[in-house]
């Protein structure tokens, strides 16, 4: 019975769309409301999957580099910068008239140990580390001045209990490393939008911590333009109420709100972990990889319905939400194939491994029609 209902819903999702919506792209469908885009992997930026870039150009009007601007990639050794892939990504984005987002300047992950140490292996003091941070931000932001239009300046600085994460940045510099990073980014490109970006932003304690951080920056007159809410979500988290409450609260700051890193993990997660901390990992077991040969129609429908309800909320908050970015272009290259368990077959995005739109794609497009009818 359940399967029957699912397959009826599945065919409805395909057939209930009028022809003009059926042929629409994401960027056309949402153009009046917010930018819509995806993360581009190193592999793709290197030109190794041209058909994925074609799809991105067709569907998206904004892109974010998934990994290539993280400190360990772009600045792997003292004095050595590697802009080869990011230059390619920028060229692709500019050629296609896209809003390019830089990710990310300050993070506790993917930052080499040397960053915090001197030539003798001793930890730097506050002033030395601030100078290193300033030099890094000026070099990276400065290179793409006027080309990268928005930066995830600080990523994931708040812990689950709402306190500041105990990172080397906090330990050596102190709490104001966050405002310093924003100040340096603003100096390097005064026109660029500057964002704070985090996951689990709907968890009450963490939400309070992020609000405190953001309000503190605003009170001090630090330039911050937006809050990035990473959408590494599942079928049942966050609940619609939790999402609504958090969108309402973040919108109350008057800042731009962005859904960044959107993907819906439909695979079972050990311990019901909801975060996106890359250092978490679990052992592979068959029960954690239930769809190695393809996603059944019933689950396609469940995913499509989930995406539809989420986009319904995004559209409700369309006056505050300025961008929705998927964390990848298609399922085949999603980070969720290898996290938190390596080697799974994951289905979190709107395009499948053959780059074809899934029922979730049509369901998302359909949410625009619903809003236009209201």
Which single residue brings its beta carbon nearest to ligand G3I? 335
Catalytic residue among 49, 66, 179, 261: 261
Tokens 């292996």 correspond to: 121
Active site residue 127: no
CB contact at 8 A, 239 and 268: no
Q: 99 - beta bridge partners?
A: 62
Catalytic residue among 66, 156, 179, 183: 156
CB contact at 8 A, 106 and 177: yes
Q: Which residues lie below 8 Å from residue 278, measured CB to CB, with a gap of 6+? A: 109, 339
User: Residue 104 Cβ, how far from ligand G3I at the closest point, in Å?
Assistant: 6
Active site residue 261: yes
CB contact at 8 A, 298 and 3: yes
DSSP state of 356: P
CB contact at 8 A, 261 and 292: no
User: Between 72 and 87, whose beta carbon lies closer to ligand G3I?
Assistant: 72
Six-digit token string for 121 = 């292996």
User: Between 59 and 230, whose beta carbon lies closer to ligand G3I?
Assistant: 230
Compute, in degrees rounded to 10, the torsion defined by CA atoms 357, 361, 362, 363: 150
Can you tell me the distance from the alpha carbon of 230 to that of 309, in angstroms, rounded to the nearest whole number? Answer: 17
User: Between 33 and 351, whose beta carbon lies closer to ligand G3I?
Assistant: 351
User: Residue 15 Cβ, how far from ligand G3I at the closest point, in Å?
Assistant: 35
The residue among 198, 182, 89 whose CA lies nearest residue 144 is 89
User: Residue 62 Cβ, how far from ligand G3I at the closest point, in Å?
Assistant: 16
User: Residue 254 Cβ, how far from ligand G3I at the closest point, in Å?
Assistant: 25
User: Between 110 and 248, whose beta carbon lies closer to ligand G3I?
Assistant: 110
User: Residue 201 Cβ, how far from ligand G3I at the closest point, in Å?
Assistant: 11
Can you tell me the distance from the alpha carbon of 237 to that of 264, in angstroms, rounded to the nearest whole number? Answer: 9
Can you tell me the distance from the alpha carbon of 220 to that of 30, in angstroms, rounded to the nearest whole number? Answer: 35
Give me the residues that bind ligand G3I (CB under 6 A), please.
66-67, 70, 109-110, 155, 199, 230, 261, 276, 278, 335
Can you tell me the distance from the alpha carbon of 271 to that of 261, in angstroms, rounded to the nearest whole number? Answer: 22
Tokens 């960027």 correspond to: 27
3-state secondary structure (DSSP) of residue 25: coil
User: Residue 278 Cβ, how far from ligand G3I at the closest point, in Å?
Assistant: 4
Q: Which residues carry out catalysis?
A: 156, 261
């Amino acid at each position: 019975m359940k399967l029957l209902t699912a397959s009826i819903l599945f065919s409805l999702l395909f057939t209930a769309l009028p022809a003009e919506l059926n042929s629409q792209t994401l960027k056309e469908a949402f153009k009046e409301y917010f930018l819509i885009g995806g993360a581009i992997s190193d592999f793709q930026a290197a030109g190794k999957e041209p058909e994925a870039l074609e799809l991105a150009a067709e569907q998206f009007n904004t892109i974010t580099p998934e990994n290539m601007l993280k400190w360990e990639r772009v600045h792997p050794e003292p004095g050595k910068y590697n802009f080869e892939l990011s230059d390619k990504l920028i060229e692709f984005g500019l050629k296609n008239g896209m809003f390019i987002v830089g990710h990310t300047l300050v993070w506790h992950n993917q930052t080499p140990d040397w960053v915090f140490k001197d030539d003798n292996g001793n930890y730097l003091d506050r002033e030395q580390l601030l100078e290193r941070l300033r030099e890094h931000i000026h070099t990276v932001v400065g290179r793409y001045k006027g080309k990268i239009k928005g930066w995830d300046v600080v990523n994931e600085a708040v812990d689950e209990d709402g306190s500041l994460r105990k990172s080397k940045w906090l330990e050596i510099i102190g709490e104001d490393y966050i405002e310093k990073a924003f100040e340096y980014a603003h100096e390097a490109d005064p026109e660029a939008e500057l964002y704070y970006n985090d996951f689990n932003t709907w968890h009450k304690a963490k939400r309070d911590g992020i609000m405190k951080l953001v309000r503190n920056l605003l009170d001090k007159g630090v330039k911050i333009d937006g809050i990035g809410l990473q959408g590494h979500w599942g079928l049942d988290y966050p609940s619609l109420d939790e999402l609504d409450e958090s969108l309402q609260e973040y919108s109350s700051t008057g800042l731009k709100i962005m859904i960044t890193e959107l993907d819906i993990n439909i695979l079972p997660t050990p311990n019901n972990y909801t975060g996106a901390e890359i250092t978490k990992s679990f052992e592979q077991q068959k029960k954690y990889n239930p769809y190695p040969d393809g996603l059944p129609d019933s689950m396609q429908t469940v995913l499509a319905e989930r995406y539809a309800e989420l986009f319904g909320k995004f559209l409700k908050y369309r006056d505050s939400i300025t961008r929705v970015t998927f964390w990848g272009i298609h399922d085949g290259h999603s980070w969720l194939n290898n996290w938190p368990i390596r080697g799974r077959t994951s289905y979190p995005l709107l395009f499948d491994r053959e780059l074809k739109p899934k029922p979730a794609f049509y369901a998302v497009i359909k949410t625009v029609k619903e809003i236009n009818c209201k």
